[in-house]
C-alpha cells in the first residue's frame, strides 16, 4: 500500500496554524505571570499588547524552522507534546526577533514595521518601547525555565540564546557606526565590514540559532555536528542577506512587496561594496556624491554606476556558484550517529582550532570574498550528555537552502 502524497504547501499551512495556536497559550502564560505578581491591570494589559503587537505578525520562518528541524531529525510526525515543546523554542526565537526589531526601529527612527506603525510610534508608547523590548527578551528566559528546566539540554538552550543575542548586538553596533544615515562616508565601507554585519547581525540568529535549538532538543550533542551546522548555515545566512541586498536594488516593488531604500538610507550593502571595489575614479566620484542622499535623482545616478559595473550579472554569478558550493557541503554531511560521534579525542578539534570551513565564494576582478572563520560552542563534559542520540540529516540544511535559492521576495 503506497504512502499518501503530502502537499508541501498544505503541510506548511497546517504547521503554521498549529504554531500560532501555541502562541495563544504562551501569551496567556506570560500575562498570567504578571497577574501572579499582582501587577496593576493597566501594566498587565500593556504587557499583553506589547507581546501581541510585536511577536506573532511576521513570516514566522525562524520560529517554524525550529519545529521543521526537529521533525526532520526525528524522521516522523511529531507527537502533540513534541510539537508543543519545539514550538516553545520557536516562539522564543520569535520573541528574540521582536526584541531586536522594537529596539532597531527606535535606533533607525523607522516609521512602519510589517505594515503598521513601529511600536514606539504607537500613541502613548514612545520611549517606553525601550523597556518593552527588554520585557520581550526576558519572556524568552521565563518560557525556557518553565518548559525546559528539567531537560538535559537546558544549559545549552540558555547558552545558545545568550551567545546569539550578544553576537547580534555586535553586528548591530558595527552596522550603526559604519553606515549612519546622517553621515555618509563610503571610505568606512568594505566587503569585510559587510561580511561582519551580515554574519553577526543576521546569519547567527536567523539561520544557525533555529537549527541548533532543534538539534539540542533532539539530542545532538557532539561538537562536530555543530561545527558542521555552522559551516553550512552561516554561509547560507550570508547568501540570504546578499540576495536581500540585490533584490532591494534590482527587484521591482511588485516583485518584492516593498520599495527598496538601501541606496537612500546609506546601507553598507553588497552592491555598493562590490561597486567600490570595481569603480574607476569617475565612477567613485559619482558614488561619493550621490550615495546615501534622500533624493531619487541621486539614487538613479548610483544605479547607473551599478549597471555600468555589471553588478547584476556579478550577483547572478555569485548566486549560482554559492548554490553549487553549498550543495556540495550539504552532500558531505554524514547522516548516521556513528559517523558524527567517535570515542577518539582526535574527532573533536582542539578548542583553539574549532572553526567552520572557509568557503571561497567568488573572485571578482578586484575583490576576494569569503566568509570569516568563527568558533562553534563546545559540549560541556560534566553535564554527562556529550553523546548523540540521533544523527544529523542533510534535509535540515537542504530545506533552508531551497527556500531561498533564486527567491524573488
Residues forming the active site: 59, 99, 104, 108, 113, 175, 201, 240, 244-245
Q: Which residues contact 260 (CB under 8 A, 6 or more apart)?
A: 247, 248, 249, 251, 253
Question: Strand 112-113 and strand 116-117: pairing?
Answer: antiparallel
Q: How far apart are the first and last CA of the chain?
A: 40
Cα–Cα distance, 155 to 48 (Å, whole number) = 28
CB 361 within 8 A of CB 370: yes
CB 330 within 8 A of CB 405: no
Cα–Cα distance, 212 to 69 (Å, whole number) = 9
H or E element: which one contains 363?
A: strand 362-363
Cα–Cα distance, 403 to 62 (Å, whole number) = 12
Q: Of the candidates 319, 327, 176, 195, which has an alpha carbon nearest to the alpha carbon of residue 246?
A: 319
Output DSSP code: residue 355: B
C-alpha cell at 288: 561619493
Q: Of the candidates 361, 348, 355, 360, which has an alpha carbon nearest to the alpha carbon of residue 373?
A: 355
Q: With 0-12 CB in 10 A as exposed, 13-18 as middle and 19+ as buried, what is 5? A: exposed
Cα–Cα distance, 57 to 111 (Å, whole number) = 17
Cα–Cα distance, 342 to 224 (Å, whole number) = 10
H-type alpha helices, 61-127: 61-74, 80-108
Output DSSP code: residue 364: -
CB 123 within 8 A of CB 58: no
Amino acid at each position: 500500500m503506497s504512502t499518501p502524497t503530502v502537499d508541501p504547501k498544505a503541510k506548511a499551512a497546517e504547521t503554521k496554524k498549529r504554531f500560532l495556536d501555541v502562541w495563544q497559550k504562551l501569551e496567556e502564560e506570560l500575562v498570567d505571570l504578571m497577574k501572579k505578581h499582582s501587577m496593576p491591570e493597566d501594566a498587565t494589559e500593556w504587557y499583553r499588547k506589547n507581546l501581541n503587537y510585536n511577536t506573532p505578525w511576521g513570516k514566522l520562518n525562524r520560529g517554524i524552522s525550529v519545529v521543521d528541524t526537529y521533525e526532520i531529525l526525528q524522521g516522523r510526525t511529531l507527537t502533540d507534546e513534541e510539537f508543543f515543546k519545539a514550538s516553545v523554542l520557536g516562539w522564543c526565537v520569535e520573541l528574540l526577533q521582536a526584541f531586536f526589531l522594537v529596539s532597531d526601529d527606535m535606533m533607525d527612527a523607522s516609521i512602519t514595521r510589517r505594515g503598521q506603525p513601529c511600536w514606539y510610534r504607537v500613541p502613548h508608547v514612545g520611549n517606553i518601547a525601550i523597556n518593552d523590548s527588554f520585557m520581550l527578551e526576558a519572556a524568552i528566559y521565563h518560557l525556557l525555565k518553565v518548559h525546559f528546566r528539567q531537560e538535559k539540554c537546558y544549559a545549552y538552550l540558555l547558552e545558545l540564546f545568550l551567545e546569539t543575542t550578544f553576537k547580534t548586538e555586535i553586528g548591530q553596533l558595527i552596522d550603526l557606526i559604519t553606515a549612519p544615515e546622517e553621515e555618509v562616508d563610503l571610505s568606512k565601507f568594505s566587503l569585510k565590514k559587510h561580511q561582519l554585519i551580515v554574519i553577526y547581525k543576521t546569519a547567527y540568529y536567523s539561520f544557525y540559532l533555529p537549527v541548533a535549538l532543534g538539534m539540542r532538543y533532539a539530542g545532538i550533542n557532539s561538537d562536530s555536528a555543530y561545527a558542521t551546522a555552522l559551516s553550512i548555515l552561516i554561509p547560507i545566512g550570508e547568501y540570504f542577506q546578499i540576495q536581500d541586498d540585490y533584490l532591494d536594488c534590482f527587484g521591482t516593488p511588485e516583485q518584492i512587496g516593498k520599495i527598496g531604500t538601501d541606496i537612500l538610507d546609506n546601507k553598507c550593502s553588497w552592491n555598493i561594496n562590490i561597486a567600490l571595489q570595481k569603480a574607476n575614479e569617475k565612477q567613485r566620484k559619482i558614488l561619493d556624491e550621490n550615495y546615501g542622499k534622500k533624493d531619487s535623482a541621486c539614487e538613479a545616478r548610483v544605479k547607473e554606476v551599478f549597471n555600468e559595473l555589471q553588478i547584476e550579472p556579478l550577483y547572478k554569478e555569485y548566486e549560482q556558484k554559492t548554490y553549487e558550493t553549498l550543495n556540495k557541503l550539504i552532500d558531505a554531511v554524514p547522516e548516521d550517529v556513528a559517523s558524527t560521534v567517535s570515542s577518539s579525542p582526535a574527532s573533536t578539534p582542539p578548542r583553539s582550532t574549532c572553526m567552520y570551513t572557509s568557503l571561497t565564494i567568488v573572485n571578482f576582478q578586484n575583490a576576494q570574498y569569503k566568509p570569516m572563520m568563527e568558533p562553534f560552542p563546545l559540549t560541556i563534559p560534566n553535564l554527562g550528555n556529550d553523546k548523540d542520540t540521533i544523527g544529523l540529516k542533510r534535509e535540515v540544511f537542504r530545506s533552508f537552502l531551497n527556500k531561498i535559492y533564486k527567491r524573488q521576495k
